[in-house]
Amino acid sequence: MRKFFRTVVLLAGLAAAPYALAQAPAASAPSASAAAPADAPAAAASDTQSLDQSIQSLKSEAVDLNRDLFVLEEELLFPANTQVAVFLSMDVGDFFNLDSVSLKIDDHEVANYLYTPREVAALIKGGVQRLYLGNLKVGDHELTAFFNGKGPNDRDYKRGATIRFKKAIGAKYLELKINDRQRRLQPEFEIKDWE
């Protein structure tokens, strides 16, 4: 907060600086013309350089302040004691080609995502996607995920998976995992609770 007020004071000072510089030569015009006209360009260059340095330091402080505000906003919107994060991962992907995922928590739809072929390829290579980040109160909850895509023999495939979990104080992490089951030649959808 102190940085914010210092930045505002610096901005006000910089806004008033050109006005002060314009007034100063006008007030001392008779003595300045008698002193040395050759010093005027050097003084103006020095003033311009110091003004540029002030502006650059102000820009740097504004960037630092923006970063600090972003971190504060994340902490306020998603405090660690109420935070719930849901991730999606895939293993192999021979029996299921993912198109979309729909996510519900306590019968409220919280996320929908439509995948591009490039995103599916990244997931198959081991990528993990954060589908949802939000807040939940302490207690029992139910997460339901619906997976849409193409299954074996290029048929439309829609499956769901549900997990009941208990949210305690502290962050909660859940993973939606799509696996191929070679024995059954079917994809398997599971939800893993990371304790």
Predicted confidence at residue 61, as pLDDT, reads 93
- 118, burial (CB in 10 Å: exposed 0-12, middle 13-18, buried 19+): exposed
- Displacement of CA 27 from its chain's centroid (Å): 52
Q: Kindly give the residue spans of alpha helices, DSSP state H, lying in 28-38.
A: 29-35
pLDDT digits (tens, 9 = 90+) for 84-136: 999 999 887 677 888 999 999 999 999 999 999 999 999 989 999 999 999 88
Q: Can you tell me the distance from the alpha carbon of 159 to that of 151, in angstroms, rounded to the nearest whole number?
A: 10
In 3D, which of 191, 187, 85, 161 has the Cα closest to residue 129? 85
Predicted confidence at residue 49, as pLDDT, reads 84
Predicted confidence at residue 74, as pLDDT, reads 74
pLDDT digits (tens, 9 = 90+) for 47-63: 888 888 999 999 999 99
Tokens 């992907």 identify what position?
Answer: 93
Flag the least confident range among 9-18, 43-52, 53-62, 72-81: 9-18
Predicted confidence at residue 141, as pLDDT, reads 93
Q: Can you tell me the distance from the alpha carbon of 42 to that of 30, in angstroms, rounded to the nearest whole number?
A: 19
pLDDT digits (tens, 9 = 90+) for 154-172: 888 888 999 999 988 888 9
Predicted confidence at residue 19, as pLDDT, reads 46
Predicted confidence at residue 40, as pLDDT, reads 65
pTM recorded for the entire structure = 0.60
Predicted confidence at residue 103, as pLDDT, reads 95
Whether the predicted pLDDT of 3 surpasses 70 = no
Whether the predicted pLDDT of 29 surpasses 50 = no
Task: Check residues 152 and 66 and name the one with the higher pLDDT.
Answer: 66
Q: Can you tell me the distance from the alpha carbon of 37 to that of 35, in angstroms, rounded to the nearest whole number?
A: 7
